[in-house]
């Protein structure tokens, strides 16, 4: 079973992808993580990410297909997070998986109103030392601005800064909404309301996946 989890910036897709992949023993493939790793050695990619823009679709597709070919040759049991985001990426992935005898089985769109996502993004801070993430409204550190785990000074990810947020949304709406409609027309889309507590959403997602796999017992 291969699952695609789509969602706007700050829809909670990263958190839910982690929960879901653990629950169903899926390989969690996050293109945001791949892109951030590439950015460490590539200033062009770093600038694109920090400004809130998307990488050229075919560039990230190439990295994903290359990764699958070399690191995940069985091509199944994968939870794709943040990829595909464009119709062209969807078709490239679908064709690639089909050429290996596999499929995209399920596409889930985690949906939150724009105001909610913007509020979430602006309250998300992280520790550059250990990578711990804090939400200043719902999960603040004990000492303001200081990491509970390692004492590091908390910062905002560059692409979580207010000027980048609007751009990320514009790109999301322009490209991913088109993909969502495209997948919906194929009858493969499940929409999930992401404006609810993490545990409630996780339960819903679990049910959707169980139904799709015909696995109602675990």
81/50 Cα distance (integer angstroms)? 19
Told to judge if 44 belongs to the known catalytic residues of this protein, a careful annotator would answer: no
Dihedrals phi, psi of 119, to nearest 5 degrees: -65, -40
Told to judge if 177 belongs to the known catalytic residues of this protein, a careful annotator would answer: no
User: Is residue 12 a contact partner of residue 121, using CB atoms and an 8 Å limit?
Assistant: no
Give the nearest distance from C-beta 32 to ligand AMP in angstroms: 2
Give the nearest distance from C-beta 143 to ligand AMP in angstroms: 28
Q: Which whole-number Å values give the CA distances from 94 to 3, 117, 181, 194, in the listed order?
A: 11, 29, 16, 26
CB of 66 or CB of 207, closer to ligand AMP:
66
Told to judge if 191 belongs to the known catalytic residues of this protein, a careful annotator would answer: no
Told to judge if 157 belongs to the known catalytic residues of this protein, a careful annotator would answer: yes
CB of 32 or CB of 146, closer to ligand AMP:
32
Give the nearest distance from C-beta 175 to ligand AMP in angstroms: 8
Site for ligand AMP, rule CB under 6 A: 9, 31-32, 35, 48-49, 53-55, 57, 60, 82-85, 89, 159, 168
- Which residue is it, tokens 């609007």? 166
CB of 45 or CB of 205, closer to ligand AMP:
45
CB of 11 or CB of 190, closer to ligand AMP:
11
Catalytic residue among 53, 157, 196, 210: 157
CB of 101 or CB of 132, closer to ligand AMP:
132
Give the nearest distance from C-beta 52 to ligand AMP in angstroms: 6
Give the CB-nearest residue to ligand AMP. Answer: 32
Sheet strand arrangement including 27-30: 27-30, 78-81, 3-7, 106-111, 189-193
* E strands present in the chain: 3-7, 27-30, 78-81, 106-111, 124-126, 133-135, 189-193
Q: How many CB atoms lie within 10 A of CB 66?
A: 10
Catalytic residue among 22, 23, 72, 85: 85
Give the nearest distance from C-beta 73 to ligand AMP in angstroms: 21
Dihedrals phi, psi of 199, to nearest 5 degrees: -65, -35
The DSSP H or E segment spanning 71 is helix 57-71
Residue in 98, 99, 156 with CA at minimum distance from that of residue 127: 156
User: Is residue 171 a contact partner of residue 54, using CB atoms and an 8 Å limit?
Assistant: yes
Told to judge if 85 belongs to the known catalytic residues of this protein, a careful annotator would answer: yes
The residues annotated as belonging to the active site are 13, 85, 124, 157, 168
């Amino acid at each position: 079973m291969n699952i695609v989890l789509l969602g706007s910036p700050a829809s909670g897709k990263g958190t839910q992808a982690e929960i879901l992949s653990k629950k169903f023993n899926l390989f969690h493939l996050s293109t945001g993580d791949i892109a951030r790793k590439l950015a460490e050695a590539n200033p062009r990619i770093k600038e694109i990410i920090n400004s809130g823009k998307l990488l050229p679709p075919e560039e990230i597709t190439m990295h994903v297909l290359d990764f699958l070919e070399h690191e995940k040759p069985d091509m199944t049991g994968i939870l794709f997070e943040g990829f595909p985001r464009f119709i062209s990426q969807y078709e490239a992935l679908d064709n690639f998986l089909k050429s290996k005898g596999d499929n995209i089985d399920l596409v889930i769109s985690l949906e939150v109103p724009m105001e909610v996502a913007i509020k979430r993004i602006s309250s998300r801070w992280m520790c550059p030392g250990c990578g711990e993430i804090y939400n200043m409204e719902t999960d603040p550190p004990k000492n303001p601005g200081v990491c509970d785990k390692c004492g590091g000074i908390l910062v905002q990810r560059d692409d979580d800064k207010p000027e980048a947020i609007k751009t990320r949304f514009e790109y999301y709406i322009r490209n991913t909404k088109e993909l969502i409609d495209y997948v919906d027309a194929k009858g493969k889309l499940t929409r999930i309301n992401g404006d609810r507590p993490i545990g409630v959403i996780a339960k819903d997602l679990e049910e959707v996946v169980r139904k799709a796999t015909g696995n109602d017992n675990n």
